[in-house]
């Protein structure tokens, strides 16, 4: 059924113009305006899935690819891990270390920790470098 303005006491020629908000101007470097996801790329949630279902695109200023917002909402390049066998991820409170290889992490994660972690099959040596687990020195027995 079509809308009949006369039911509201309005003339048949009554039209409501569509509202168009002014375009958003992105003012920070490394961002652009687009119609995108409901979740922004942020350092604090890097690597976590967006849990908001997108019904329609969202007009906003988004970081350009390769950048993420810091706690001040300023777009920065994401952290890159420079060591061999490392990857930046949102992971456990404990990194895989040679000194604690095979032990359970004693901390409970309330939220994942953003840091450089050793990749699977690698552990952090006493010098702070990720090495293959089979190259870790044997543990001293008590």
- DSSP structure class, residue 107: S
**Mean pLDDT, rounded, for 99-123:** 82
Q: Which of 41-50, 56-65, 82-91 shows the lowest mean pLDDT across its residues? A: 41-50
Q: Is 22 exposed, middle or buried (0-12, 13-18, 19+ CB in 10 A)?
A: exposed
Which tokens sit at 77?
């390049």
- How far apart CA 121 and CA 130 sit, in angstroms, is 10
Q: Hey, what domains does the chain have and what are their CATH numbers?
A: 27-78 (2.10.25.10), 79-142 (2.10.25.10)
Check if the beta carbon of residue 110 is closer than 8 Å to that of residue 120.
Answer: no
With CA atoms as reference, report the closest residue to 30 among 60, 57, 69.
69
| Structure confidence by residue, pLDDT tens digits, 63-83 | 777 777 766 666 556 666 778
What global pTM score does this model have? 0.46
């Amino acid at each position: 059924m079509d809308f009949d303005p006369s039911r509201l006491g309005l003339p048949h020629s009554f039209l409501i113009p569509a509202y168009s908000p002014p375009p958003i101007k992105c003012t920070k470097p490394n961002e652009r305006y687009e119609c995108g996801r409901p979740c922004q790329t942020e350092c604090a949630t890097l690597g976590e899935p967006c849990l908001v279902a997108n019904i329609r695109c969202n007009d906003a200023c988004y970081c350009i690819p390769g950048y993420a917002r810091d706690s001040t909402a300023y777009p920065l390049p994401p952290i890159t891990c420079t060591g061999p066998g490392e990857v930046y991820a949102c992971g456990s409170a404990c990194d895989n270390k040679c000194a604690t290889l095979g032990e359970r992490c004693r901390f409970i994660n309330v939220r994942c920790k953003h840091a450089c972690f050793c990749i699977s099959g690698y552990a952090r040596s006493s010098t702070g470098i990720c090495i293959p687990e089979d190259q870790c020195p044997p543990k001293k027995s008590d």
